[in-house]
Structure 1
Amino acid sequence: MTEKIHAADRLALVTHASPDGDAVGSTLALALALRALGKTVTVLSKEPVPENLMFLPLAEEYGLTSVMPPETELLLALDCGNKERLSMERDGFDMVFKINLDHHVSNDLYGDLNHVDPTASSTAEMVTELIEDLGVTLSVAMAECLYTGIVSDTGSFRYPSTTAATLRWTAKILETGLDFSKIQRILFATRDFKRIKLLGRALMTLERSSDGFVSMMNLAAADFNTLSIPDRDSGEIVNYGLEPPEADVSILLKEAEGFYRVSVRTKAVIDAAALCAIFGGGGHVRAAGCNLKADTLEGAKKQLLQEIERMRTA
């Protein structure tokens, strides 16, 4: 992989639609590293970064273009399990050489070269290793992006995906001298007023099923419209459903046009990725998502509960 990257002068980077901290952090860190090597790099995205990630270096380049320049020699797709979710136009996609760099176990291996490591905590962890393999010295700017990606996907090192390797790579990132406490504060202890209101609306719908084994919350389209918040900015709301000690599954359903966007978090028993895969989604064992077609909210809940019960008794 490093040989392919070193041989190319003009590269493009892309990640999945509705990018999160890992997607944005790993993409921008790699862009900085490749430019340190003298490469011409285009960041592709159909949308800007979420507001809480605007502090990252190069964040202003996100959403400027989703069209791959015709002279691109190499496309690196980061943190995206299937090509349909890549946030870019498809012009030239089939012609360019593609490196697929990801840590999702459900990855479709759509690249010409696939580097998929489900044991990695995050794509940012993998990019940290790649930057070292490329011979680039980590800068504070790269470290900010990488640290953001890792803490986002590990829940600030709380999730089981955190490994000894994760902490070793994080130590290298901290050695740059970055202000990690500032990043922690922005990501986990700063929430603007309208997002606090959105959290309140979700918590008002909190209910439990299966003797508390499943927590469910929902947000209507009107909740996002009234507060002028895009539905991708629902943040960590779904995690609150796992706080009851008896809860193993937490689900947040967000109303869309003719379907529901579903976020799932689990503790130990249910495989979140396997549950979401039933409905065409995917993700990680403890964190996953999908789009679920249903005429009513109750119908959507019923489908999910039926599959969870089936998985429990299998």
Structure 2
Amino acid sequence: MNLNEIAEKILQTDRIAVVTHASPDGDAVGSTLGITLALRELGKDVVVLSKEPAPLNLSFLPFYEEYGLEATIGEDRELLLALDCGNKERLSMERDGFDEIFKINIDHHVSNEMYGKLNYVDSDSASTAEIIFELMEALGVIPDQSMAQCLYTGIVSDTGSFRFPSTTAKTLRITAELLETGLDFSYIQRVLFSTSEFKRIKLLGRALMTLESHMDGFVSIMNLEANDFNILSISDRDSGDIVNYGLEPPEADVSVLLKEAEGFFRVSVRTKLQIDASSLCGKFDGGGHVRAAGCNIKAESLEEAKRLILEEIERMRSV
């Protein structure tokens, strides 16, 4: 499947719904709002589906307020465009009408389950926003500054401001074209990477106090209890960047953040060189990227959750 075929199908369709994964990040929201702007410029009737609002730090994006207003596919919708989501269960929407509607699945996660009628999954792209840029080209849409704002947000979010190994020459070429719109990229960088609410900084402090070193420093593990989120009145999705701090020790190759839930632990994983984060999380029915992934581990205690993931890392190291 190529993007020209997908563009042809979209151009033949008038009423479209766009959706991405639950707990949306910068790439998910930037891609969704970017393609929404492009399709509306083409005269399409587009609805954004989501069970929840987008993160507050993305409120500068155009049409941010449409996130979380609708979650059910209207009977008039002809096509569902699913973005940045590896499996249909994680799509942030109600299931009414899902099986019947024509689905296009666009993603860059290697673990994608190809659940669309049409699928375009490019794991060589650093972000789904890159693919949306290319889709806009296929649709004949030249990104304006508002679209560029969305796509740039997606790209810098998933590349860690161009720090992650997923960044390619193509990533930078696309970024250069977005900057040519006059985009105020320094404002976006400041909001995404240099601005945090007081309670998020406090949450970071709580996590760092739990930092442990395992396997002679090869693995860093941190954890957050349910009570940490309750005391600070903060959502667990506001903890996304904390796991990156575990990779700062030069000897660390894997960083793990365990977040307590009811009967299980939400797990975020980041890696440098030796361990494939997606494969590691895949052992617990999760997935993601080679260097950044997530999963849920069913465990009765924190110590059990640590043991399970450390045993799997040890096994992967020995292969």
Alignment of 1:237-252 (within 5 A): 237-252=242-257
Q: 5+ unaligned residues in a row in structure 1: which ranges?
A: none
Equivalent residue number for residue 64 of structure 2 = 59
- Does residue 46 of the first structure (1) align with residue 54 of the second (2)? no
Equivalent residue number for residue 85 of structure 1 = 90
Give CA-to-partner distance per residue, 1:81-137, whole Å, 9 cap, x none.
000000001111111110000000000000000000000000000001111111112
- Does residue 174 of the first structure (1) align with residue 174 of the second (2)? no
Task: Select which of 219, 231, 236 maps to 1:231.
Answer: 236
- Count, aligned residues: 314
Q: Distance in 2 between matches of 1:229 and 1:142?
A: 30
Q: Distance in 2 between matches of 1:176 and 1:10?
A: 28
Q: Secondary structure at the match of 1:49?
A: coil
- Does residue 120 of the first structure (1) align with residue 125 of the second (2)? yes
Give CA-to-partner distance per residue, 1:127-155, whole Å, 9 cap, x none.
01111111112111111110000000000
Task: Select which of 161, 169, 183 maps to 2:188.
Answer: 183
- Does residue 206 of the first structure (1) align with residue 211 of the second (2)? yes
Moved over 6 A (4+): none
Task: Select which of 110, 117, 131 maps to 2:136.
Answer: 131
Q: Secondary structure at the match of 2:109?
A: coil
Alpha-carbon RMSD across the aligned residues, in angstroms, is 0.5
Equivalent residue number for residue 3 of structure 2 = none
Residue 55 of structure 1 and its aligned partner are, at CA, apart by 1.1
Q: Secondary structure at the match of 2:100?
A: coil
Q: Distance in 2 between matches of 1:152 and 1:61?
A: 20
Residue 233 of structure 1 and its aligned partner are, at CA, apart by 1.0
Q: Distance in 2 between matches of 1:193 and 1:232?
A: 16
Q: Distance in 1 between matches of 2:178 and 2:137?
A: 11
Structure 2 residue identity aligned to 1:311: M
Residue 51 of structure 1 and its aligned partner are, at CA, apart by 1.1
Equivalent residue number for residue 31 of structure 2 = 26
Q: Distance in 2 between matches of 1:212 and 1:171?
A: 38
- Higher mean C-alpha displacement, 21-30 vs 129-138: 129-138
Q: Given the two structures, how large is their TM-score scaled by the length of structure 1?
A: 0.99
Task: Select which of 299, 306, 311 maps to 2:304.
Answer: 299
Equivalent residue number for residue 78 of structure 2 = 73
Alignment of 1:263-278 (within 5 A): 263-278=268-283
Equivalent residue number for residue 163 of structure 1 = 168
Q: Distance in 1 between matches of 2:139 and 2:11?
A: 8
Equivalent residue number for residue 154 of structure 2 = 149
Structure 1 residue identity aligned to 2:47: T
Residue 235 of structure 1 and its aligned partner are, at CA, apart by 2.6
Q: Given the two structures, how large is their TM-score scaled by the length of structure 2?
A: 0.98
Q: Secondary structure at the match of 2:245?
A: helix
Q: Secondary structure at the match of 2:143?
A: coil
Q: Secondary structure at the match of 1:160?
A: coil
